């Protein structure tokens, strides 16, 4: 079956990567237009394929039944993608809106440069989670690795487990919430007061991510000390 025929399906469809080339599967999902009858799709046998469900821009639901490689859901807009397995590097890279839910673990730089939407990782995320994030909300049920939220500009990173070295290095205005231990903070990242508005924000994020039984009061907030915005000779060692 060709991609054009797949996109014209009138009911919930299954796309089997064991039988259909990845290019055709992605093209079928990208070709869906608003108002189509089929809005819930399953991708079977991903087998670690790269860039599965990348570049989607319609409010459809995509369930991927297995593990995926790098850049799954990259550039996502409006789609709600669930990976029933683990994801390789760069899941949700540069996503704009919609949601991506990883039921397992995620490799490095999850949510890199993402501008919006919600990225949920039930398990652990590796290094550089949320690097240069620009407005996305990321919720990680486990731990995150080193250099996470490096140069994070906007959005929220919520970690129910521990954080590795150099959390929030060269941070801008993103908000970081960690329930567990932080191995070390990066340059210009400091612990900040958890005010009532932050507890409200965190409670909403945990609810949206489906993290039940977790109290916002158990988290600490981290943010930018705002000393690296402009060069100052006294801070030269921090650059």
| Res 18: pLDDT | 97
| Res 1: pLDDT | 42
| Res 5: pLDDT | 46
Whats the size of the chain, residue-wise?
239
CA 219 from centroid of its chain's CA atoms: 20
CATH number at residue 133: 2.160.20.60
Assess if residue 228 is contained within a domain.
yes
Contact 172, 151 (CB under 8 A): yes
- For residue 167, give the 3-state DSSP assignment: strand
| Res 2: pLDDT | 46
| Res 238: pLDDT | 58
pLDDT above 70 for 209: yes
- For residue 90, give the 3-state DSSP assignment: coil
| Res 35: pLDDT | 72
| Res 91: pLDDT | 98
Assess if residue 210 is contained within a domain.
yes
Assess if residue 142 is contained within a domain.
yes
How confident is the model over 127-182, as pLDDT tens digits? 999 999 999 999 999 999 999 999 999 999 999 999 999 999 999 999 999 999 99
Percent of the chain scored above 70 by pLDDT? 91
Instruction: Read off the pLDDT band of 125 (50, 70, 90).
Output: very high
Instruction: Read off the pLDDT band of 190 (50, 70, 90).
Output: very high
Q: How many helices (H) and strands (E) does the chain have?
A: 3, 11
Assess if residue 23 is contained within a domain.
no
Assess if residue 17 is contained within a domain.
no
What is the arithmetic mean of pLDDT over 234-238? 60
Tell me the residue range of the domain where 67 lies.
42-238
Provide the whole-model pTM.
Answer: 0.91
pLDDT above 70 for 230: no
Assess if residue 18 is contained within a domain.
no
Assess if residue 49 is contained within a domain.
yes
How confident is the model over 210-220, as pLDDT tens digits? 999 999 999 99
Assess if residue 27 is contained within a domain.
no
CA angle 115, 174, 188 (to 5 degrees): 135
Contact 103, 121 (CB under 8 A): no
Instruction: Read off the pLDDT band of 189 (50, 70, 90).
Output: very high
Q: Which region among 18-27, 143-152, 212-221, 228-237 has the lowest average model confidence (pLDDT)?
A: 228-237
**Radius of gyration over alpha carbons of the chain, in Å?**
19
| Number of domains the chain is built from | 1
What is the arithmetic mean of pLDDT over 34-42? 83
């Amino acid at each position: 079956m060709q991609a054009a025929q797949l996109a014209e399906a009138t009911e919930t469809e299954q796309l089997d990567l064991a039988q259909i080339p990845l290019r055709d599967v992605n093209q079928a999902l990208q070709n869906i237009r608003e108002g189509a009858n089929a809005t819930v799709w399953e991708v079977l046998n991903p087998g670690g394929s790269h860039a599965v469900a990348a570049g989607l821009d319609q409010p459809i639901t995509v369930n991927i039944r297995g593990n995926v490689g790098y850049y799954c859901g990259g550039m996502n807009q409006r789609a709600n993608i669930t990976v029933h397995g683990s994801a390789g590097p760069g899941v949700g890279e540069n996503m704009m809106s919609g949601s991506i839910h990883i039921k397992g673990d995620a490799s490095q730089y999850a949510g890199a440069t993402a501008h919006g939407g919600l990225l949920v990782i039930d398990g652990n995320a590796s290094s550089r989670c949320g690097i240069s994030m620009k407005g996305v909300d990321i919720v990680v049920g486990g731990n995150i690795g080193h250099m996470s939220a490096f140069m994070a500009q906007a959005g929220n990173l919520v970690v129910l487990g521990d954080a590795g070295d150099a959390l929030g290095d060269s941070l801008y205005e993103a908000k970081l919430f960690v329930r567990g231990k932080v191995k070390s903070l990066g340059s210009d990242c400091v612990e900040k007061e958890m005010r009532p508005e932050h507890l409200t924000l965190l409670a909403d994020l945990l609810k949206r991510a489906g993290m039940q039984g977790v109290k916002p009061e158990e988290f600490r907030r981290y943010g930018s000390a705002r000393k690296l915005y402009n060069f100052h000779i006294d801070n030269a060692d921090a650059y």
